[in-house]
Protein backbone atom coordinates (compact mmCIF):
# COMPACT_ATOMS: atom_id res chain seq x y z
CA UNK A 1 0.00 0.00 0.00
CA UNK A 2 1.64 3.24 -1.18
CA UNK A 3 -0.20 5.30 1.47
CA UNK A 4 1.89 3.52 4.11
CA UNK A 5 5.27 3.91 2.45
CA UNK A 6 7.71 6.08 4.38
CA UNK A 7 11.45 6.31 4.06
CA UNK A 8 12.08 5.70 7.74
CA UNK A 9 15.84 6.06 7.33
CA UNK A 10 15.15 9.80 6.82
CA UNK A 11 13.08 10.09 10.02
CA UNK A 12 15.29 11.00 12.97
CA UNK A 13 12.48 10.06 15.37
CA UNK A 14 12.27 6.41 14.25
CA UNK A 15 15.02 4.33 15.84
CA UNK A 16 15.38 1.82 12.98
CA UNK A 17 15.81 2.35 9.23
CA UNK A 18 12.72 0.36 8.26
CA UNK A 19 9.65 -1.43 9.60
CA UNK A 20 8.70 -4.89 8.42
CA UNK A 21 5.70 -5.16 10.73
CA UNK A 22 2.01 -5.74 10.25
CA UNK A 23 -0.31 -3.38 8.41
CA UNK A 24 -1.53 -2.09 11.80
CA UNK A 25 2.06 -1.24 12.74
CA UNK A 26 2.57 0.55 9.43
CA UNK A 27 -0.63 2.54 9.96
CA UNK A 28 0.58 3.49 13.45
CA UNK A 29 3.91 4.73 12.09
CA UNK A 30 2.06 6.74 9.42
CA UNK A 31 -0.14 8.28 12.14
CA UNK A 32 2.92 9.19 14.26
CA UNK A 33 4.57 10.69 11.18
CA UNK A 34 1.45 12.77 10.46
CA UNK A 35 1.39 14.28 13.98
CA UNK A 36 5.16 14.55 14.47
CA UNK A 37 5.26 18.33 13.87
CA UNK A 38 2.75 18.85 16.69
CA UNK A 39 4.70 16.50 18.95
CA UNK A 40 8.02 18.23 18.27
CA UNK A 41 6.53 21.64 19.09
CA UNK A 42 6.03 20.47 22.68
CA UNK A 43 8.73 17.82 23.12
CA UNK A 44 12.44 17.24 22.54
CA UNK A 45 14.29 13.95 22.15
CA UNK A 46 11.36 12.23 20.44
CA UNK A 47 12.03 8.61 19.48
CA UNK A 48 9.75 5.76 18.48
CA UNK A 49 11.21 2.36 19.34
CA UNK A 50 9.90 -0.96 18.03
CA UNK A 51 10.15 -3.26 21.05
CA UNK A 52 11.50 -6.44 19.54
CA UNK A 53 11.68 -8.46 22.74
CA UNK A 54 13.79 -5.83 24.49
CA UNK A 55 11.58 -5.60 27.57
CA UNK A 56 8.30 -6.64 29.16
CA UNK A 57 5.89 -4.94 31.53
CA UNK A 58 4.42 -7.05 34.31
CA UNK A 59 0.99 -6.65 35.84
CA UNK A 60 1.34 -6.42 39.62
CA UNK A 61 -1.88 -8.32 40.34
CA UNK A 62 -0.81 -11.63 38.80
CA UNK A 63 2.56 -11.18 37.09
CA UNK A 64 1.10 -11.47 33.58
CA UNK A 65 3.55 -10.00 31.06
CA UNK A 66 3.02 -7.75 28.07
CA UNK A 67 5.61 -6.69 25.50
CA UNK A 68 4.26 -3.44 24.07
CA UNK A 69 5.08 -3.33 20.36
CA UNK A 70 6.24 0.29 20.49
CA UNK A 71 7.46 2.85 23.00
CA UNK A 72 7.46 6.56 22.22
CA UNK A 73 10.09 8.42 24.27
CA UNK A 74 10.10 12.21 24.63
CA UNK A 75 11.00 15.05 26.98
CA UNK A 76 8.78 18.03 27.61
CA UNK A 77 10.11 21.39 26.37
CA UNK A 78 10.07 24.70 28.22
CA UNK A 79 9.13 23.41 31.65
CA UNK A 80 10.56 24.22 35.04
CA UNK A 81 11.21 20.56 35.84
CA UNK A 82 12.25 18.15 33.09
CA UNK A 83 9.54 15.57 32.52
CA UNK A 84 10.32 12.55 30.36
CA UNK A 85 7.53 10.46 28.91
CA UNK A 86 7.42 6.82 27.92
CA UNK A 87 4.27 6.02 25.98
CA UNK A 88 3.47 2.36 25.45
CA UNK A 89 1.68 1.61 22.18
CA UNK A 90 0.16 -1.65 21.02
CA UNK A 91 -1.18 -1.86 17.45
CA UNK A 92 -3.76 -4.63 17.39
CA UNK A 93 -5.71 -6.34 14.64
CA UNK A 94 -9.44 -6.34 15.28
CA UNK A 95 -9.52 -10.14 15.50
CA UNK A 96 -7.23 -10.03 18.60
CA UNK A 97 -8.78 -7.10 20.44
CA UNK A 98 -11.27 -9.05 22.54
CA UNK A 99 -8.80 -11.80 23.44
CA UNK A 100 -6.16 -9.24 24.49
CA UNK A 101 -8.52 -6.82 26.26
CA UNK A 102 -6.63 -7.37 29.54
CA UNK A 103 -3.51 -5.89 27.88
CA UNK A 104 -5.37 -2.74 26.86
CA UNK A 105 -6.84 -2.43 30.37
CA UNK A 106 -3.35 -2.75 31.87
CA UNK A 107 -1.82 -0.19 29.50
CA UNK A 108 -4.55 2.35 30.19
CA UNK A 109 -4.16 1.87 33.94
CA UNK A 110 -0.52 2.97 33.65
CA UNK A 111 -1.57 6.54 32.91
CA UNK A 112 -3.39 6.87 36.21
CA UNK A 113 -1.23 4.78 38.50
CA UNK A 114 2.41 5.02 37.55
CA UNK A 115 4.74 7.90 38.20
CA UNK A 116 8.43 7.38 38.85
CA UNK A 117 9.98 9.42 41.62
CA UNK A 118 13.03 11.16 40.12
CA UNK A 119 15.16 10.52 43.19
CA UNK A 120 15.09 6.81 42.40
CA UNK A 121 16.66 7.26 38.96
CA UNK A 122 18.09 10.70 38.19
CA UNK A 123 18.18 13.84 40.23
CA UNK A 124 16.88 16.16 37.53
CA UNK A 125 14.29 14.26 35.55
CA UNK A 126 10.80 13.02 36.32
CA UNK A 127 9.22 10.21 34.34
CA UNK A 128 5.64 9.68 33.29
CA UNK A 129 4.52 6.30 31.98
CA UNK A 130 1.48 6.34 29.73
CA UNK A 131 -0.39 3.43 28.20
CA UNK A 132 -2.91 4.00 25.44
CA UNK A 133 -5.84 2.05 24.04
CA UNK A 134 -4.99 -0.38 21.27
CA UNK A 135 -4.16 1.25 17.96
CA UNK A 136 -6.34 0.04 15.09
CA UNK A 137 -6.95 1.80 11.77
CA UNK A 138 -10.70 1.11 11.76
CA UNK A 139 -12.61 4.36 12.39
CA UNK A 140 -14.37 3.43 15.64
CA UNK A 141 -11.07 2.32 17.23
CA UNK A 142 -8.87 4.91 15.57
CA UNK A 143 -10.91 7.87 16.83
CA UNK A 144 -10.66 6.60 20.42
CA UNK A 145 -6.91 6.08 20.01
CA UNK A 146 -6.32 9.49 18.41
CA UNK A 147 -8.26 11.26 21.16
CA UNK A 148 -6.32 9.40 23.88
CA UNK A 149 -2.97 10.00 22.17
CA UNK A 150 -3.54 13.72 21.61
CA UNK A 151 -5.04 14.14 25.08
CA UNK A 152 -2.12 12.41 26.79
CA UNK A 153 0.35 14.66 24.97
CA UNK A 154 -1.73 17.82 25.00
CA UNK A 155 -1.54 18.20 21.22
CA UNK A 156 -5.23 17.98 20.34
CA UNK A 157 -6.28 19.73 17.16
CA UNK A 158 -9.07 21.68 18.86
CA UNK A 159 -7.12 23.18 21.69
CA UNK A 160 -3.56 22.45 22.67
CA UNK A 161 -3.33 22.03 26.40
CA UNK A 162 -0.45 21.62 28.77
CA UNK A 163 0.64 18.11 29.59
CA UNK A 164 0.10 17.58 33.29
CA UNK A 165 3.21 16.64 35.18
CA UNK A 166 1.41 15.14 38.15
Task: Report the pLDDT value the prediction gives residue 163, as an integer from 0 to 100.
Answer: 44
pLDDT, tens digit (0-9, with 9 covering 90-100), for 78-92: 877 778 899 999 999
Q: What is the DSSP letter of 91?
A: B
Domains in the chain: boundaries: 2-152
Q: Which of 64, 69, 160, 85 is nearest to 130 (CA)?
A: 85
CB-based contacts of 64: which residues, under 8 Å, 6+ apart? 58, 102, 106
pLDDT tier, 166 (very low <50, low <70, confident <90, very high otherwise): very low
CB 83 within 8 A of CB 76: yes
Task: Report the pLDDT value the prediction gives residue 80, as an integer from 0 to 100.
Answer: 79
d(CA 109, CA 75): 21
Res. 105: pLDDT tops 50: yes
Give percent above pLDDT 90 in the chain: 46
Amino acid sequence: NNDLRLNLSEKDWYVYDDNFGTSEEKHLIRFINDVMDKIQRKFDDVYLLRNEGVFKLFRFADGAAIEPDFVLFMTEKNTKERMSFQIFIEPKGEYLMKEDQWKEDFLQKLKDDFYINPSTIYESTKFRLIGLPFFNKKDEYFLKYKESFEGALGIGSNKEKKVTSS
